[in-house]
């Protein structure tokens, strides 16, 4: 996997994340480059989803700012923020599809809400988006009629509806078996490559982190800080910080990561579980 080197697209500057007087993390500084797969990683409750809310405009930070293409996001008037948000595609953790709508109707919804496209054009674009995520021909299916992995991919197709420049994911592989999770990771990389999108992923899934991240920040609840940043595979090799090492080497205990560690095992000195016998992957 080659790390793309684009210009800085997102800059997080001296951010403080808090709920009232309860400070989660102080002094968040990070840069995301165009075309990069950037992970916000850390244990449960460290503030990953909160940072995502700051990034996509759902919650103003307690202090600091975020810049998109060098322009302030949170100091700017809300119309500016809305315009920037139009360039985002977001897949939430529990980003359920509308169960009463077909896949086609789910994906058409953002197009109908935010564009002037006619019905025929929308229909055609819906087919393109579904094909992009490997769901060609599933237009008329309802979410309940397809598997969990397919539902995630359909939600991804919906996130792609408005041709986003930046894709945000909150725990995309939550609830998926390792095979479906890996397919989703591969799809995320494919879309980054084919669409040239920047990808920001919130995740605590070690297998995904080690498999597809170009760059990452590690949020730590205990020290309320960004404890490390960089390529997670390089951090695994070079970081001496016990908190960072602890997070990046706990793969053996993680059922969800089991079986996928093998992919990294040789080249990356990944301390995963022993290779299981007779696995389906």
Ligand X SMILES: Nc1ncnc2c1ncn2[C@@H]1O[C@H](COP(=O)(O)OP(=O)(O)O)[C@@H](O)[C@H]1O
Residues forming contacts to ligand X in the complex (CB under 6 A) are: 19, 24, 42, 44-50
CB of 217 to Mg ion, least distance (A): 14
Binding residue for Mg ion (CB under 5 A) from 16, 31, 49, 115?
A: 49
Residue nearest Mg ion, CB atom distance: 49
Pick the closer one to ligand X by CB: 24 or 226.
Answer: 24
Contact between 135 and 157 under an 8 Å Cβ cutoff? The reply is yes
CB of 22 to ligand X, least distance (A): 6
Pick the closer one to ligand X by CB: 46 or 125.
Answer: 46
> In the range 102-131, which residues lie near Mg ion by CB under 5 A?
none
CB of 90 to ligand X, least distance (A): 15
CB of 49 to Mg ion, least distance (A): 3
CB of 171 to ligand X, least distance (A): 8
The option from Mg ion, ligand X, none interacting with 47 (CB < 5 to 8 A, set by class) reads ligand X
Tokens 């969800």 correspond to what residue? Answer: 256
Pick the closer one to ligand X by CB: 94 or 119.
Answer: 94
Name the site residues for Mg ion (rule: CB under 5 A). Answer: 48-49
């Amino acid at each position: 996997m080659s790390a793309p080197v684009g210009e800085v697209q997102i800059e997080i500057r001296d951010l403080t994340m808090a709920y009232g007087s309860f400070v989660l993390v102080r002094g968040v500084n990070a840069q995301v480059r165009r075309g990069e797969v950037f992970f916000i990683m850390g244990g449960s409750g460290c503030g990953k989803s909160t940072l995502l809310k700051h990034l996509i405009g759902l919650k103003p930070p307690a202090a600091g700012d975020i810049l998109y293409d060098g322009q302030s996001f949170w100091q700017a008037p809300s119309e500016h923020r809305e315009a920037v948000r139009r360039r985002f595609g977001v897949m939430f953790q529990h980003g359920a599809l509308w169960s009463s709508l077909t896949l086609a109707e789910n994906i058409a919804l953002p197009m109908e809400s935010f564009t002037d496209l006619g019905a025929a054009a929308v229909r055609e674009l819906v087919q393109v988006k579904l094909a992009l995520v490997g769901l060609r021909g599933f237009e008329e299916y309802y979410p309940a009629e397809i598997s969990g992995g397919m539902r995630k991919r359909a939600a991804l197709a919906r996130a792609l509806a408005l041709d986003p420049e930046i894709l945000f994911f909150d725990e995309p592989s939550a609830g998926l078996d390792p095979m479906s999770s890996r397919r989703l990771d591969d799809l995320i990389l494919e879309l980054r490559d084919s669409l040239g999108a920047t990808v920001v992923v919130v995740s605590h899934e070690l297998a995904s982190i080690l498999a597809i991240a170009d760059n990452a920040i590690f949020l730590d609840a205990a020290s309320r800080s960004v404890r490390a940043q960089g390529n997670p595979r390089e951090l695994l090799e070079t970081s001496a910080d016990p908190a960072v090492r602890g997070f990046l080497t706990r793969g053996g205990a993680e059922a969800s990561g089991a079986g996928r560690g093998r992919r990294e095992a040789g080249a990356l000195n990944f301390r995963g579980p022993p290779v299981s016998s007779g696995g389906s992957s």
